[in-house]
A = this chain, B = another copy of it.
């Protein structure tokens, strides 16, 4: 592509874009932990200002949970499609902080890679969209298609909260295509868009065996231990291969045919793992992308700090999170897992489920919708070889919700990598992808203009 004014504008703003990235990461928007409410408000306000600079009409919705930014610019004319762009400004907790190589809320560049909480999921991707829209506005004075923007603050902690927006503001979400800006490409040299996501359901289980921790010398051997009971209970959830043993867990699963092959060696290398597990009837790629899972995402009980507490542990807990595929219903899965845990309570252990989260329904988009076609074309042009539409093992709760409320297919167009350590310490985004993302997103919007045939 010959350098055009838009590309030149993007390039000359590289440093300013990075400065804004730094600012956005510095908002400590851990929406799922209490005490971050002010930061959430400040971040939402900052995003509003950014969108206003691109000529958008913007409002902040005060919802029952964190504020939602809703923006629209619909002056591309009746012949142009309307695209709903979805993103979120909240991030995962940063614990354990000591495993970060640099402070999680200070965007830090090392060897061409940008490290920070939200760098990949998804403040980097969100900025690519906002800065691309502003570049289009500043260089051309217009946005090539009609654009609505929805940015929420509950994606990481309670994505179900988006239902509130869908229910109360459906008119403001009307669109011909849904573009989810949260996600990434398959690999650095494998540009892709995502058209299939897994659902998610989570719950907390507590096991109680006594009213208080007991001296192991005075009660050990006769009073049941909650930590041991929890271990026994959790061990009933999978067989040795990793298949889920919860009754009816797989009942609603639709066979989507053979899935993509992922390279097992690459998975092992990226994960730093020694062996893969899972149902041998499916390939590792299928296990990750088209089969449901049940993970213990946290376990805790008794004392594991320095020194030793010689106790019979009275209470222990675990958090369980499932990835779901079509047509599993997160609410039904929570019921089934809860029933399994209660039915398998070890002797003398009281099993309770104090918290559940029906996080996301699984969803399928389409590779032939207008936004998907534009995105695949833009990615192909930028990389110099054709891009793919893929399924991912991750969850994008917005995909099912916004597909349903708009009736339009979703496509996920974003620039993180599977290796970006989303949700983990040292989350990062290659600077090269941050810059290339602007180029692709500007091009995608241009291709969505009514006069799209001539590029």
Q: Which chain B residues border A276 with CB–CB below 8 Å? A: 222-224, 348
Known: A304-B319, A307-B32. A299 touches B227 (CB 8 A): yes
Q: Which chain B residues border A232 with CB–CB below 8 Å? A: 231, 234-235, 238
Known: A211-B271, A220-B323, A271-B214. A237 touches B227 (CB 8 A): no
Q: Which chain B residues border A64 with CB–CB below 8 Å? A: none
Q: Which chain B residues border A425 with CB–CB below 8 Å? A: 212-213
Interchain CB contact under 8 A, A215 and B424: yes
Contact flags A197-213 to B (C-beta < 8 A → 1, else 0): 01010101000011111
- Bound state CA distance, A319 and B291, in angstroms? 34
**Quick check: which of A49-57, A124-132, A379-387, A389-397 contacts chain B, the rest being far away?**
A389-397
Q: At the interface, yes or no: A218 with Cβ under 8 Å from chain B?
A: yes
Known: A221-B293, A302-B298. A307 touches B275 (CB 8 A): no
* Chain A contact residues: helix, strand, loop or mixed: loop
A210 CB contact (under 8 Å) in B272, B299, B305, B313: B272
Q: Which chain B residues border A215 with CB–CB below 8 Å? A: 394, 418, 421-424
Interchain CB contact under 8 A, A278 and B240: no
How far in angstroms is the closest Cβ of chain B from A247? 18
Interchain CB contact under 8 A, A227 and B298: yes
Q: Which chain B residues border A72 with CB–CB below 8 Å? A: none
How far in angstroms is the closest Cβ of chain B from A410? 16
Contact flags A64-85 to B (C-beta < 8 A → 1, else 0): 0000000000000000000000
Q: Which chain B residues border A331 with CB–CB below 8 Å? A: none
Interchain CB contact under 8 A, A273 and B423: no
How far in angstroms is the closest Cβ of chain B from A265? 12
Known: A271-B211, A293-B221, A393-B218. A307 touches B93 (CB 8 A): yes
Interchain CB contact under 8 A, B211 and A198: no
Which residue of B has the minimal Cβ distance to A267?
B222
Interchain CB contact under 8 A, B271 and A295: no
Q: Which chain B residues border A292 with CB–CB below 8 Å? A: 221
Q: At the interface, yes or no: A15 with Cβ under 8 Å from chain B?
A: no
Q: At the interface, yes or no: A156 with Cβ under 8 Å from chain B?
A: yes
Interchain CB contact under 8 A, A422 and B218: yes
Interchain CB contact under 8 A, A303 and B95: yes
Interchain CB contact under 8 A, A224 and B350: no
Q: At the interface, yes or no: A192 with Cβ under 8 Å from chain B?
A: no
- Bound state CA distance, A323 and B219, in angstroms? 11
Q: At the interface, yes or no: A441 with Cβ under 8 Å from chain B?
A: no
Q: Which chain B residues border A222 with CB–CB below 8 Å? A: 264, 267, 276-278, 284, 287-288
Sample of 11 A–B contacts (CB below 8 Å): A31-B307, A157-B308, A210-B271, A212-B426, A218-B422, A219-B267, A221-B287, A223-B273, A224-B242, A231-B232, A231-B233
Q: Which 7 A-B pairs have the closest CB atoms?
A: A211-B272, A32-B307, A217-B394, A275-B348, A298-B302, A298-B304, A231-B234
Which residues of A line the B interface, CB within 8 A? 30-34, 92-93, 95, 99, 156-157, 198, 200, 202, 204, 209-225, 227-228, 230-235, 237-238, 240-242, 264, 267, 270-278, 284, 287-288, 291-293, 295-314, 316-319, 321, 323, 346-348, 350, 357, 359, 392-395, 418, 421-426
